[in-house]
Amino acid sequence: MADFNIKIMIVSGVREQGKDMFAVQVNDEIFVLDAGLKYPDSSLFGIDVVIPDMEFFDKYGDKIAGIFLTHGHADSIGALPYILRGHDINIFGSELTIELAKLEVQRENHRRKNHLFHVIDAETEIDFRNASVSFFHTTHSIPGSLGIVVHTPAGGVVYTGDFKFDPSASAQYRTDMDRLAEIATKGVLALLSDSSNAEADFPNASEKEIGDYVSEVFSNATGRIIVAAKASNFTRLQQVFDAAKKNNRKVLLTGRGVNKIVQIALKLGYLQADSKLFIHSKELKKYKDNQLVVLETGRMGEPLQSLQKMATNRHRMISIHQGDLVFIATTPSHAVETMVAQTSDMVYRAGGTVTQLAYAKHTSGHATGRDLQLLISTLKPKFLIPVIGEYRLLEIHRNLAIATGMKPKDIYITKNGDCLSLQKGRFYLTDPVPGEDTMIDGSGIGDVGNIVLRDREILSDDGIFIAVATIDRKKKKIIAEPKVSSRGFVYIKANKELMNESREVIKKAIITNFEHKKFDWSELKTDVRNSLEKFLYKQTNRRPVVLPVIMEVNQNRHRAMARKKTEHEPRSKKAENND
């Protein structure tokens, strides 16, 4: 037992919100905990999603025993499609989590290898060569949520995933406190615990309270109710369906994604609703406004863009009109609070009104500060590693743990890429693991880096300036007047003088190159670009992306065409010339 090597790898999911992925290595086996994504902020121009560093799987793929999933949200399962494109790795999760993971993989990859997906539950314990893995029920906004324990020779490494405590939660959502006590008796080496809501110093409203509030909102509404909610927040969906039924309203699901998720949940029994509750878009006209609920979900869980389209008559199904109530039934992240305000303004302009659940009730799927302290007191971990949250939240979590009696030296604030190795009873930083972001743009995985993003940022700030010139390099002269154009830089019609002067700059740069340098295409383009950049900055104080296009006239081709034309002249015409 003395000869064992234990490492905890922080691949991603700290000092940020989303793309959770951690790993525990015991000797030559690695157990990956979650494989999520996050959605980009406004600084990542054109990026669709961000996932953990795929180099991790290239480097350690042959040692990975499996990927163990805590729940079915994108921050836990969203990176799977990209991982499974290049690696066959076994995936473990609850029944619902696995079904949603399969759906996610199929949407991106079109094909999936079903033999890689394994359904487990809270009673499952899987034995591997160097460790065993078991699970325990947790409370989150989606059923089938599980915490994970990697049992090592030095004690258990416990990973909570997203969780909270709610004693009033229904059985399929309730945290198993007895199981937590049992885990504690076996000894917890390290606890990796959710920090997302650590700064909340008052309790979350119970789901019963929230359900009553949703029902109250529905009963007071006189027109259509347009609900903005997260498709995978099953608790909220059930409350919406219950309130709709109670108030004799029909529900329209506006997206193909939410339809699939709801069908899976109904089939597995995680949602309860009569099929007669739902209608198709073609049936909308059959019902009065006070008989309808429109459920709008977004892939980010904050479907604000769809609401904006509804408010400006650009949505394919729904346009907001007088009397509509927009009920934002999710808690938007801090990053989109400004967008929420803008969206609400647009809804009011269109004649609707807005009610936000977050204003009326404190609701979150994540543990409050007191919940975190209760978990620490129950598990009594030797070491704590706060995860899942921005830096301030990790520090707040640390301070909460100290208040329960933990020693500061036993709490590790990490960053992505850190690798903690157990040596002589303590964890020490060792060689880092791959921990950079992998950015997904369209079908490309990781082919957009900092240089491309910097160019996109420049394009968004100062636009692009295009210069086109045609030359004869043998005669060393410009054949035609250079042409210039721009997008996002200046309005061309109002800046004719600037454009004319730019042409002169181009001509001067080309002529200078001809006179003083041996001809080289790349040097010529560089000279034109540098000259234009200096001139445009001097004139406008802006730095657009300058794109020079230099074309060469082919004199040999013209001579060949002339000879060909002569050869095909009619014989009578040639004879006349000979005479």
Annotated binding site for substrate: 362-366
d(CA 284, CA 295): 13
User: Phi-psi bin for 184: left (phi > 0), alpha (psi -120 to 50), beta?
Assistant: alpha
Q: Which stretches within 192-255 are classed as H helix?
A: 207-220, 234-246
CB atoms within 10 A of CB 58: 11
Which residues make Cβ contacts (< 8 Å) with residue 322, sequence separation at least 6? 223, 351, 352
d(CA 259, CA 255): 6
Q: Return the closest-CA partner of residue 513 out of 529, 499, 498.
A: 529
> 571 to each of 203, 565, 568, how far by Cα in Å?
100, 13, 9
Element (H, E) at 378: helix 369-379
C-alpha of 206 from chain center: 28
Binding positions are 362-366
Quote the tokens at residue 120.
Answer: 């487990």
> 341 to each of 141, 229, 307, how far by Cα in Å?
25, 16, 12
d(CA 535, CA 489): 14
Which residues make Cβ contacts (< 8 Å) with residue 399, sequence separation at least 6? none
User: Amino acid identity, residue 252?
Assistant: L
* Strands, E assignment, 275-330: 278-279, 292-298, 325-328
What is the SS3 string spanning 472-490?
ECCCCEEEEEEEEEEECCC
DSSP 20: -
Give DSSP secondary structure letters for 283-296: GGGGS-GGGEEEEE
The per-type count for the chain, helices as H runs and strands as E runs, is 18, 26
d(CA 172, CA 181): 19
Q: Phi, psi at residue 77, to the nearest 5°?
A: -120, -5
Q: Determine contact, residues 306/254, Cβ cutoff 8 Å.
A: yes
